[in-house]
A and B are shown apart, each in its own frame.
Chain A
Amino acid sequence: MMSSGHALRDYAMRLGDDALVLGQRLSEWCGHAPMLELDLALANIGLDLLGQAQHFLAYAGALEGKGRDADALAFHRDVMDFKNCLLVEQPNGDFAQTMARQFLFSTWHELYLDALTGSNDATLAAVAAKGVKETTYHAKLSSEWIVRLGDGTEESRARVIHGLDWMWRFVDELFHDDLVDESVTVSGAGVARAALRPAWDARVDAVLADAGLERPAPRRGIIGGRVGRHSEHLGHMLSEMQFLQRAYPGATW
C-alpha cells in the first residue's frame, strides 16, 4: 500500500515533468520557427510551462523532504526517474507535428488544470488556477493552427495529418488513471483523468471538423511514461538539457 504522502509527491512530480519536458521541447524551436511571431509564441508557451514546472517540482521536492529543489529535480534526475507522459517527449518534427502535439496536449491540459483548481490541496489548486489561464491561450493558439494547416494547402494538410498520426497513439495515456492518480483523487487532491475524455473528444472533434480533418484511425495507445518507461527520445533531450549542470554541478549565472 502506497502512503498518500508518496502518492502526492509523485502526482506533483508528474504534473511538473509534463510541463518541464514540453517546455524544453518548445525551447528547441527558438530561432527556428517559420516566422518571427511563431518563434515568440512557441518560446512564450515554453516559458509558461517552465514556470508551471518550477512550481509543481518545488512542491514535489518539499513533499519528498530530502532537500531537493525544482532545479535539483530537473537537472539531476536520470531518464527513468522522469514521470512525464510520452506525448510531451516526442520530437518536434516539423512545425505541423509540433502543433499537433501542442493541440492534443493543451486541450487536455486546460481541462485538467481547470478541474485541479477544485483540489483540496491548496498548493495544487493555486498553481492550477494560475496555470489554467495560461493554458487557455496555448489551447487556442494551437487549435487555430490545426485549422489553418488542415484547411490550408495540400502540403500543410498532408503535414498536419502526418503530425496528428504520429502523436495519436500517445493520447490514451493522458486519460489513464493508475494507483497514484486514484490514491490522490480519492483523498480529494487529484483529478480523475478518465472522466475528462468525453469533454476532450468533443473539443478535439470540433477543431478537426473546422480543419476539414478526419480523426486518425484508432490504434492501441502506448503508456509507460508515468512509471519511467520512456521512448528513446527523452534521454537525448535530457542529455542536452542537463549537460551544463551535469558537467559543472551547481553552476549559476
Chain B
Amino acid sequence: MSALLSSRVLDVLGDVPDPEIPAVSVVDLGIVRRVDDEAVHITPTYTGCPATIAIERMIRKALDDAGMRDLDIVIDLSPPWTTDWISDEGREKLRAYGIAPPPRGDGRGTLKAEAAVECPRCGSTEVEEISRFGSTPCKALMRCLSCAEPFDRFKCH
C-alpha cells in the first residue's frame, strides 16, 4: 500500500472516537497498529473491554463510509497493547478531558513504584487513590488533595 493511501486510512480512523472516552480517537490510543494492502490491524486495549466490539464496528463503518470496503479488520493480540502506545497528542487530549494520562513506559515494570500523578485540573501532585478500579477497566479513581476534585487516572498498563 502506498504511504499516501495508508495516511488517508489513518486520517479516516483519526475521526473514530473511543466509545468510552470520546475525547480521543482509536488512533490516538494506539489501538490501530498499522495498515497494509488488505487490512487495518488493531490491538484491543483490555481483554475484557466491552468496547472492543463497538470499536471494531465503528472502524468498519468509518472505512465503509469512506469507500474502503475492501479493507479487512484484523485483530492482532501480540504484542499486547500498552499505554505506552498512546500518542503525545492523545495524552494531551486526555488531560484536557479531565483524565490524568498514564506515565510513559510499560505498565508492569512501574506497577510496584507508580509514577507521580498530576491532577488534570490544577496540576497538583498531592493526590490520593480512591479506588484502583474505576468506571472502565482502563481507569482508576483518584482525588486531588489540593483542589479536592475527584478525577480519573488512565492506568499504566
A residues in contact (CB < 8 Å) with B: 23, 37-38, 40-41, 43-45, 47-52, 54-55, 122-123, 125-127, 129-134, 136-137, 140-141
Residue B2 at the chain A interface, CB threshold 8 Å = no
Q: Is the interface of A mostly helix, strand, loop or mixed?
A: helix
**Interchain CA distance A137-B137 in the complex, whole Å:** 11
Known contacts A52-B48, A134-B47; A129 and B78 CB within 8 A of each other: yes
Known contacts A40-B135, A125-B78, A133-B157; A48 and B48 CB within 8 A of each other: yes
Across the interface, do B141 and A50 meet the contact criterion of CB distance under 8 Å? no
**Interchain CA distance A85-B131 in the complex, whole Å:** 29
- Number of contact residues on B: which range applies? 20 to 34
Residue of B nearest to A125 (CB): B78
A-contact bits for B111-146, CB 8 A (1 contact / 0 none):
100000000000000000011111101000100000
User: Which of chain A's residues have a CB closer than 8 A to the CB of B133?
Assistant: 37, 40-41, 43-45, 137, 141
Q: Which 5 A-B pairs have the closest CB atoms?
A: A51-B48, A51-B47, A37-B131, A126-B78, A47-B48
Residue B107 at the chain A interface, CB threshold 8 Å = yes
Across the interface, do A133 and B132 meet the contact criterion of CB distance under 8 Å? no
Known contacts A41-B131, A44-B133, A140-B111; A55 and B77 CB within 8 A of each other: yes
Question: How many contacts A-B (CB < 8 Å)?
Answer: 75
**Interchain CA distance A123-B75 in the complex, whole Å:** 12
User: Which of chain B's residues have a CB closer than 8 A to the CB of A41?
Assistant: 131-133
Across the interface, do B46 and A134 meet the contact criterion of CB distance under 8 Å? yes
Determine which of A55, A123, A137, A141 lies in contact with B47 in the assembled complex, contact meaning CB atoms within 8 Å: A55
A144 to chain B, nearest CB (A): 9
Determine which of B46, B108, B111, B141 lies in contact with A48 in the assembled complex, contact meaning CB atoms within 8 Å: B46
User: Which of chain B's residues have a CB closer than 8 A to the CB of A123?
Assistant: 77
B80 to chain A, nearest CB (A): 4
Residue of A nearest to B132 (CB): A141
Determine which of A43, A50, A127, A137 lies in contact with B132 in the assembled complex, contact meaning CB atoms within 8 Å: A137
User: Which of chain A's residues have a CB closer than 8 A to the CB of B141?
Assistant: 37, 40
User: Which of chain A's residues have a CB closer than 8 A to the CB of B50?
Assistant: 47
User: Which of chain A's residues have a CB closer than 8 A to the CB of B157?
Assistant: 133
Residue B79 at the chain A interface, CB threshold 8 Å = yes
User: Which of chain A's residues have a CB closer than 8 A to the CB of B49?
Assistant: 47, 51
